[in-house]
Copies of this chain bind each other. A is one copy, B any other.
Amino acid sequence: MRNTFFKSTQFQTLRHLIRWTAITVPIAFVIGCMITLFLWLLNLAINYRFAHQWILYFLPLAGIGIYFSYKWWGGRAAGGNNLIMDEIHNPGGGVPRAMAPLILITTVVTQLFGGSVGREGTAVQIGGSISQMFSKWFGLSPEDNRVILTAGIAAGFGAVFGTPLTGAIFAMEVLTIGRIQYTALIPCLVAAIVGDVTVLSWGVHHETYHIAIVPQGSNILSVYLPLDITLLGKVIIASIAFGLTSYLFAEAVHGVKTVFNRFVEQKWLIPFLGGLVVITLTLIIGKPDYLGLGVKEPYPGAITISSAFNPGGAHPMSWLWKTIYTTLTLGTGFKGGEVTPLFYIGSTLGNTLSTLMNAPVSLFAALGFIAVFAGATNTPLASTIMGIELFGSEYALFFAVACFTAYLFSGESGIYSSQRIAVPKI
């Protein structure tokens, strides 16, 4: 009887649960601490830049510094998110330990000097690098190493945005296009929760956004239909635009990289030139709105992600400017993530489209926020969940429609070249 119990599936499951929890908790705790440090430094850097706007003129030099940091100490760490995905798909040399400190410092430097980059790439790389380190200490098997790398992505993503469920789903969804596999289910969920709780325990507050009440539209059908069919139509049209924007963004990042690499012989010159172009653009448009993260406002009335949730809170070209700034910054070798700029691009585009289509502003800003992200990363389910975690469940159906539509229209590539295609989109 006792023997049967220990051999039962249920006991094995319990063992599995306890084992992975024990492995994951310390790793995710350390990741959470490092993400806290990252967010804290980022905040300092952003505030410093706001107080000393001239610092932007040193962006080209910062770019050279980042270039040589990776050249001297980076090695394979330059592979970034793609290296981690490759290691999960096809275990090779592992994720280098230097990745976490390097990406952390270079992202903060990029932000300090005004580069337009995000946080998720950094968080994912911190997560991947730290879990690889622990995995070696714990002597995990190659198979378990893949699981813990996936959990590291979940912890990093969940912690940096304060969206643990999204982090867990994102880690499982991002690896392959068109499929989610539950291979690393429990480690991902545990890691994302512990990572998030750690960051919150350190007293970090995440940004909050709010969707204003959407007035029930009235048209000839609304007497019969419980769903505002006109609004749904507008959501679908906007989401096609969101998807095409994701496509544009991904193509532009790759394009900038290709063009600069083809025409510039001295590779260290590339980030220098990238920095110069960003400075020139900023002098032309005469305001710093599209520099940096885009979350806090550099001056009252600047265009930020938050402002895009209000009527008049974005310029009709904001989304395009942010796309140009970000693809230039990332494509010329500065470091950081893509996702916060994608949120910015999406919510400002949503703002603009809502004016064009006479639709609720904050709802469309929220839809753009998640849908451009969904299209560029090919993670429609994680993006839908993110919408629910950030904005509540009332518009969950619109979130899903927006994310899945944008996913369909963003083409087969996306920003992560190491994603594999499991199921073609159409």
Binding site for B on A (CB under 8 A): 9-10, 12-14, 16-17, 164-165, 168-169, 178-183, 185-186, 189, 193, 197, 200-201, 224-227, 232, 240, 244, 247, 380-381, 384-385, 388-389, 392-393, 396-397, 400-401, 404-405, 407-409, 411-412, 422-423, 425-426
Task: Among B168, B226, B426, point to the contact of A16 (Cβ < 8 A).
Answer: B426
Task: Among B168, B179, B224, B401, point to the contact of A400 (Cβ < 8 A).
Answer: B168
Residues in B neighbouring A193, C-beta threshold 8 A? 227, 232, 397, 401
CA distance A84 to B364 in the complex (A): 38
Q: A9-B426, A180-B180, A182-B425 are in contact. List 11 more A-B contacts (CB 8 A).
A: A10-B244, A13-B426, A14-B409, A17-B405, A178-B181, A181-B423, A185-B407, A185-B408, A193-B401, A200-B225, A393-B396
Residues in B neighbouring A186, C-beta threshold 8 A? 404, 408
Are the CB atoms of B178 and A183 closer together than 8 Å?
yes
Known A-B contacts A409-B13, A423-B182, A426-B12; A389 and B396 likewise in contact (beta carbons under 8 Å): yes
CA distance A422 to B17 in the complex (A): 20
Q: Which residue of B lies closest to A166 (CB)?
A: B396
Residues in B neighbouring A10, C-beta threshold 8 A? 244, 247, 409, 411
Q: Is the interface of A mostly helix, strand, loop or mixed?
A: helix
Q: Which residue of B lies closest to A411 (CB)?
A: B9
Are the CB atoms of A182 and B178 closer together than 8 Å?
yes
Are the CB atoms of A183 and B13 closer together than 8 Å?
no
Residues in B neighbouring A179, C-beta threshold 8 A? 179-182
CA distance A240 to B16 in the complex (A): 13
Are the CB atoms of A197 and B227 closer together than 8 Å?
yes
Are the CB atoms of A397 and B165 closer together than 8 Å?
yes
Q: How far does the Cβ of A353 sit from chain B's closest Cβ, in whole Å?
A: 17
Q: How far does the Cβ of A24 sit from chain B's closest Cβ, in whole Å?
A: 14
Q: How far does the Cβ of A31 sit from chain B's closest Cβ, in whole Å?
A: 16
Q: Which residue of B lies closest to A409 (CB)?
A: B13
Task: Among B16, B185, B393, point to the contact of A388 (Cβ < 8 A).
Answer: B393
Are the CB atoms of A408 and B17 closer together than 8 Å?
yes
Q: How far does the Cβ of A409 sit from chain B's closest Cβ, in whole Å?
A: 5
Known A-B contacts A181-B178, A181-B179, A182-B178; A226 and B201 likewise in contact (beta carbons under 8 Å): yes
Are the CB atoms of A197 and B183 closer together than 8 Å?
no
Are the CB atoms of A226 and B197 closer together than 8 Å?
yes
Task: Among B9, B164, B400, point to the contact of A397 (Cβ < 8 A).
Answer: B164
Are the CB atoms of B224 and A201 closer together than 8 Å?
yes
Q: Which residue of B lies closest to A393 (CB)?
A: B393
Residues in B neighbouring A411, C-beta threshold 8 A? 9-10
Q: Provide a sorted-by-A list of 23 A–B residue pairs whose CB atoms are within 8 angstroms.
A: A9-B411, A12-B426, A13-B408, A13-B409, A17-B405, A17-B408, A165-B384, A165-B396, A165-B400, A168-B400, A169-B381, A180-B180, A180-B381, A181-B423, A185-B407, A189-B404, A193-B227, A197-B226, A200-B225, A200-B226, A201-B225, A388-B396, A389-B393
Q: How far does the Cβ of A161 sit from chain B's closest Cβ, in whole Å?
A: 14
Known A-B contacts A197-B227, A400-B189; A425 and B13 likewise in contact (beta carbons under 8 Å): yes
Residues in B neighbouring A182, C-beta threshold 8 A? 178-179, 380, 423, 425
Q: Which residue of B lies closest to A17 (CB)?
A: B408
CA distance A407 to B10 in the complex (A): 11
Residues in B neighbouring A405, C-beta threshold 8 A? 17
Are the CB atoms of B224 and A9 closer together than 8 Å?
no
Residues in B neighbouring A178, C-beta threshold 8 A? 181-183
Q: How far does the Cβ of A206 sit from chain B's closest Cβ, in whole Å?
A: 11
CA distance A226 to B197 in the complex (A): 6
> By CB atoms of chain B within 10 A, which of A186, A244, A412 has the most?
A186
Q: How far does the Cβ of A404 sit from chain B's closest Cβ, in whole Å?
A: 6
Known A-B contacts A227-B193, A393-B389; A9 and B412 likewise in contact (beta carbons under 8 Å): yes
Residues in B neighbouring A12, C-beta threshold 8 A? 426
